[in-house]
Structure 1
């Protein structure tokens, strides 16, 4: 279920931080930046951890034709 604030509908399950990849690394990098007055020289290790995590997530390529073929099969079944 969601919550309504006026006319705005917010789904709390959508914003669950456990489903977000690299969230811990990003938060640690941003907190390091805020404590060191936006000095990236002092946060090199956190930046490397974040970039490594993001690279690991983007290297997993999925088959983009799978969903298109699924939709085409659904359309052909509906026409019969």
Structure 2
């Protein structure tokens, strides 16, 4: 079980091609704050490198069939179907 399972379920159950969420909305879904690194580093939201490194957060969206593209400036992330 991962702390990112609620995000996985949210994405897996959406019929949309993409979904844009504020970081605060992701935190609501998770029921906990994102780590500081999610606000500081776009690599935290990475897809390819994360796949190799096995980051739990990336596994949540990748296993739901999505990739992520984050804007640290706007504090939002777009998940889009791959």
TM-score interval w.r.t. the shorter chain? Answer: under 0.3
More helix by share: 1
Greater fraction of residues in strand:
2
Q: TM-score, normalised by structure 1?
A: 0.22
Larger Rg: 1 or 2? 1
RCO (CA 8 Å, sep 6+): is it higher in 1 or 2?
A: 2
